[in-house]
Amino acid sequence: MKNEFKLALIGLDTSHSIEFTRRMQAPDCPAEQKVNGLKAVTCMRFPTPFQNEDGQDKRQKQLEAWGVKVTGSFDEAVKGCDAILIEINDPAFHLDYFKKCAELGKPMFLDKPLADNIQNGAEIVRIAREKNCKMFSSSSLRFGEAIAKSCKEIPAPLYASVYGPLGIAPAGSSIVWYGVHAFEMLQRILGRGAVSVTSNPTGSGVVAVVEYADRRRGVVELTTGCWVYGGSLRSQDKASAFMVDASMNYTLELREICDFLQNGKMPVELDDTLEIMALLDAAERSFQCGGRTVAVLKK
């Protein structure tokens, strides 16, 4: 076991590249947020619609102050690293960069969402299995202490309702890009087996109803301009509600990444991640069809 994993970050169009690095090595990081055992050593930057060059310049300056070498070269970024964090905000780039990283045989974390659509998401999973890649992909919202407590109280819920923000994507689907957080919570609660999704616009966002083959049901509320997460789950005779402490999201996910790299613990199965991608894809298709119920496709 390594005392410290040297990480290459791919992508600088997301605040996650900053926030993860802050918790790994910023001198002023609060002790309760600090995650030991990981160090960002390089970061590859390139243009995407999700962050302008001035914004990336500011992030580069901050990373360099923490000892990270920022480069435009993929080969330079991954040379000598122990593992890779694919931190690209624009999911349309995920498949191409995952293919490049998969050839290196290094462990990987692919930040949310898995891809921009179910076809590309299924291809990522296929490649990961074919090449026996050590990797996982998730939103941080599945790791919160409050949701874990509710799931422990009701381990086999029949119904769940979750809520979260609907950020507006600079390119592609806003449901896929930002709805992933709420759908990740739903899948954490209800597991696999979704068969259909019905998404309808509201004055403040989107409401999606997810039906399961065994008559379970999930509801996902995505709201523009409301930056809180939470939900509730129910059995036939019991209910439990939770609200997410977002201040710990990055730290909790980074701890899972560290445990994954150090000890090989897989925090999320690929089949779970693929189900989330399928839910997002179905939610977007239903929304584009004016709220028609659509099937959940796994490939």
**Mean pLDDT, rounded, for 93-99:** 99
CATH code, domain with 188: 3.30.360.10
Q: Is residue 49 part of a domain?
A: yes
Same domain, 72 and 208: no
Q: Is residue 265 part of a domain?
A: no
- For residue 27, say if its preceding peptide bond is cis, omega within 30 degrees of 0: no
Same domain, 289 and 186: yes
Same domain, 76 and 205: no
Same domain, 162 and 130: no
Same domain, 102 and 119: yes
- Give the pLDDT score at 299: 77
- Give the pLDDT score at 31: 97
pLDDT confidence bin for 120, thresholds 50/70/90: very high
**Mean pLDDT, rounded, for 1-15:** 91
- In the predicted model, what is the mean pLDDT of the chain? 97
**Mean pLDDT, rounded, for 172-194:** 98
Q: Is residue 270 part of a domain?
A: no
The CA distance from 62 to 68, in Å, is 9
Cβ contact 140:250 at 8 Å: yes
Same domain, 161 and 289: yes
Question: Is 2 a residue whose pLDDT tops 80?
Answer: no
Residue spans of beta strands (DSSP E) within the chain: 5-10, 38-44, 69-71, 83-86, 108-111, 135-138, 159-165, 194-202, 205-212, 217-223, 230-234, 239-243, 294-295
CATH code, domain with 87: 3.40.50.720
Q: Residue 173: which domain range?
A: 141-246+277-295
Same domain, 286 and 149: yes
Question: Is 182 a residue whose pLDDT tops 80?
Answer: yes
pLDDT confidence bin for 1, thresholds 50/70/90: low
Same domain, 70 and 130: yes
Q: What is the pLDDT of residues 61-74, one digit of tens each?
A: 999 999 999 999 99
Closest CA to 94 of 183, 185, 10, 187: 10
pTM of the model: 0.96
Burial class of residue 247, CB neighbours in 10 A (0-12, 13-18, 19+):
exposed
pLDDT confidence bin for 140, thresholds 50/70/90: very high
Q: Is residue 31 part of a domain?
A: yes
pLDDT confidence bin for 298, thresholds 50/70/90: confident
Q: Is residue 267 part of a domain?
A: no
Q: Is residue 135 part of a domain?
A: yes
Q: Is residue 255 part of a domain?
A: yes
Domains contained in the chain, number: 2
Phi-psi region of 269 (alpha: psi -120 to 50; beta: other; left: phi over 0): beta
Same domain, 37 and 169: no
**Mean pLDDT, rounded, for 204-227:** 98
Same domain, 131 and 146: no
The CA distance from 274 to 214, in Å, is 20
Same domain, 131 and 157: no
**Mean pLDDT, rounded, for 134-156:** 98
Q: What percent of the chain stands above pLDDT 70? A: 99
Same domain, 156 and 287: yes
**Mean pLDDT, rounded, for 160-182:** 98
Q: Is residue 268 part of a domain?
A: no
pLDDT confidence bin for 123, thresholds 50/70/90: very high
